[in-house]
């Protein structure tokens, strides 16, 4: 655990970063246009003006400042590499927006491989007529997210589509980072007796998006859990090395989808204890009102870990040091390699099969 104190201290500093201070520090500049036009995607003068003021000036670094269509970075040994697209609706929601979500989501995909994210690409697909002010707010959120996570955007792209041919803005990202030297993240390493850990309360992101999309009002605001997870995964790998068998982030389809994927791929039965699965009381209440199941609700700041049984409780204690891991818990274990299903037991001793979601409980969630 030689690095845990250093990482936790960094997390304590970054979690106190005030996102609103970024908007005060980077006020909207005096653009000569209020909305995005097709000309902003032409590669000409308007494209240049938009990128200079809204991208290079805010997100610039030694790689991005090269103004090239690609980036040359140093790479040695094993690398984790991912790409993702973000089409969430609405683009602004309690706890974040499409820009912050895109950065965190890409970082987390690298982290789930056992990687240490370092470089990102960023591409916008913008609908004609999109307000420049909204684009500016998204860029500032991106700046906030990359600073908090300690990653760099090194290349990107901007395209504009006709009005009515898109939906405000879509973002595509790619992430790259070296592998943690102790990472050996593979389904084939899972065995009977291994423990299943969830890093925080589940279902929050999906309900936050639904509340905005449907105009629902709850007694307390439910905010998205979007957050970078690589500080926590790195700390677990530092402390427990190859005892960490698997990381997965339960985004679309929620916890149910991820655990069913693991069961189907390995043939093992995953046995869960319902009362140990952390769900915020306001999320549980909202799900009951709406007839939804938090096990199938999307997450953007949670991961599942499969670990050796002897370190499971210590791993949970380690996660409790992080704000984003304060509700971490051991929720079940890997049992016989027979049916390849997920069983969930209630406090009365009853058991039921937790099925793979057939469709999306809530589309365009990320």
**Which domains are delineated in the chain?**
16-179 (3.30.1330.10), 187-353 (3.90.650.10)
Which among 355, 228, 360 is positioned nearest to 298, based on CA atoms?
Answer: 360
Q: How confident is the model at residue 1 (pLDDT cuts 50, 70, 90)?
A: very low
Would you state the structure tokens that stand for residue 182, as one six-digit string? 């102790």
pLDDT of 8 over the 60 cut:
no
CB atoms within 10 A of CB 3: 12
The pTM assigned to this predicted structure is: 0.93
- For 106-165, write each residue's pLDDT tens digit: 999 999 999 999 999 999 999 999 999 999 999 999 999 999 999 999 999 999 999 999
Q: CB of 284 within 8 A of CB of 294?
A: yes
Please tell me which of 8-17, 24-33, 200-209 the model is most confident about, judged by mean pLDDT. Answer: 200-209
- For 295-329, write each residue's pLDDT tens digit: 999 999 999 999 999 999 999 999 999 999 999 99
- Residue 100 CA from chain centroid, whole number: 9
Instruction: Report the C-alpha gap between 198 and 229 in whole angstroms.
Output: 12
DSSP β-bridge partners for residue 82:
175
């Amino acid at each position: 655990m030689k690095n845990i104190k250093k990482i936790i201290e960094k997390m304590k500093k970054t979690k106190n970063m005030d996102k609103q201070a970024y908007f005060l520090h980077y006020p909207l500049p005096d653009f000569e246009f209020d909305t995005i036009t097709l000309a902003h995607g032409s590669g000409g003068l308007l494209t240049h003006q938009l990128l200079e003021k809204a991208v290079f000036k805010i997100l610039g670094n030694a790689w991005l400042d090269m103004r090239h269509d690609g980036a040359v970075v140093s790479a040695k040994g094993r690398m984790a590499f991912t790409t993702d697209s973000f089409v969430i609706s609405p683009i602004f929601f309690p706890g974040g927006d499409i820009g912050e979500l895109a950065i965190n989501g890409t970082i987390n995909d690298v982290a789930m491989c056992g990687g240490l994210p370092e470089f990102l690409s960023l591409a916008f697909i913008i609908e004609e007529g999109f307000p420049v002010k909204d684009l500016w707010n998204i860029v500032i959120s991106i700046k906030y997210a990359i600073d908090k996570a300690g990653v760099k955007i090194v290349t990107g792209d901007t395209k504009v589509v006709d009005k009515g041919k898109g939906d405000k803005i879509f973002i595509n990202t790619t992430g790259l980072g070296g592998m943690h030297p102790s990472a050996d993240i593979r389904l084939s390493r899972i065995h009977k007796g291994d423990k299943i850990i969830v890093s925080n309360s589940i279902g929050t992101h999906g309900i936050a998006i639904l509340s905005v999309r449907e105009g629902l009002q709850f007694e307390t605001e439910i905010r998205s859990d979007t957050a970078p997870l690589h500080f926590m995964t790195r700390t677990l790998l530092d402390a427990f090395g190859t005892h960490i068998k698997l990381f997965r982030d339960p985004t679309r389809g929620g916890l149910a989808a991820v655990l069913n994927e693991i069961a189907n791929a390995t043939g093992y039965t995953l046995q869960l204890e319902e009362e140990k699965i952390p769900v915020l009381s306001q999320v549980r209440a909202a799900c009951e009102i709406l007839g939804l199941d938090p096990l199938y609700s999307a997450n953007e700041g949670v991961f599942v870990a499969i670990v050796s049984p002897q370190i499971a409780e210590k791993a949970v204690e380690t996660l409790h040091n992080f704000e984003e891991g304060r509700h971490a818990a051991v929720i079940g274990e890997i049992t016989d390699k027979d049916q390849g299903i997920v069983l969930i037991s209630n406090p009365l001793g009853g058991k039921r099969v937790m099925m793979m979601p057939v469709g999306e409980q809530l589309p365009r969630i990320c």
